Amino acid sequence: MLIVTSMNFMATHVFREGTVCADTLAFIGSSLTHLKIWLSALNCIQSPLARNRTGMPEYRFVNF
């Protein structure tokens, strides 16, 4: 208990736009029925992965 009382905690939130690759892979993984290992990036995340590597932002457009 002494260790916990001496720790500082901070919670943060990242919107889905900031984690497009992780969000896409989590969606795919949620429908798998067995372990799957890919040795290279899936086609569906190639574009967001390239943008992420270069520091380009992701945008989500919504209609109100």
Rounded Cα–Cα distance for residues 29 and 22 (Å): 10
- pLDDT for 45 beyond 80: yes
pLDDT tens-place string over residues 4-41: 788 888 888 887 777 889 889 999 999 999 999 999 99
Look at residues 23, 27, 11 and name the one whose alpha carbon lies nearest to residue 52. 23
User: Model-level pTM?
Assistant: 0.64
- pLDDT for 1 beyond 70: no
The whole-number pLDDT of residue 10 equals: 86
Q: 29: which 2 tokens?
A: 């993984």
The whole-number pLDDT of residue 46 equals: 94
46: amino acid identity, one letter: Q
Classify burial at 52, counting beta carbons within 10 Å of its beta carbon; exposed 0-12, middle 13-18, buried 19 or more: middle
